[in-house]
Amino acid sequence: MEPRIIELPPLVLAPNNFYLYYTEDGDITSLTNEKLSEGNYIQVSEKFVIDFLESKKDIKNFKVKISDQVSLEQKQNSIKNNYDFLIIGYSEESKLTITINNTSLNFQLNDFETTFVVKDTRTYSFAIVNQKNLNFVKKVVNFTLKDLVNGVGLDYAFDLKNELLVTKKEFDSYGIINGKKRN
């Protein structure tokens, strides 16, 4: 009896998923093929990992930067103090816009790149302060990345003449749109 030959379909392996974990400040803590139960991460492809390893760069010298897209940027060797903040000015061409209406503020992260799977548990803080005395904080609000991507409103009658919005610089650009003058 002649041996029977059975043809099997070609073996197709599922692509490996890797997870790049990072801290609140964007510092990379690990790159693993295991999804952990806690931590901020970006899901990256096996090709990304191979390309990065072939470049012979140390991944610990990079930070995760989330703006309108997700990217890695080389860390700068500068000392950062805890008092860095940004006063948000008027601009309609910004990555993150805050529209001021009569009784509300609407926060929106524009043109966010959605091709990456991102789990980001950080909160982004915004403070409403007195224009003449930035130490006089009237209100502080915190939003997640998901809130900002989807757009989030805050019931607050912002006083254009006497108040400012301040935040830490997390995104490429910020801008206030005066929706009151359009009504």
**pLDDT-based confidence at residue 122 (cuts at 50, 70, 90):** confident
Do 87 and 75 touch, CB atoms closer than 8 A? no
**CA–CA separation, 106 and 155 (whole Å):** 9
pTM assigned to the model: 0.59
Q: What is the DSSP letter of 81?
A: -
The DSSP bridge pattern shows strands 163-167 and 123-130 to be antiparallel
Task: Give pLDDT tens digits for 147-173.
Answer: 998 899 999 999 988 898 988 888 888
Q: In this structure, what are the phi and psi dihedrals at residue 53, rounded to the nearest 5 degrees? A: -65, -40
Domains and CATH numbers, the chain: 17-74 (no CATH), 86-182 (2.60.40)
Do 160 and 180 touch, CB atoms closer than 8 A? yes
Sign of torsion, CA 119 98 94 164?
Answer: negative
Average pLDDT score over residue span 44-71 = 76
Do 98 and 174 touch, CB atoms closer than 8 A? yes
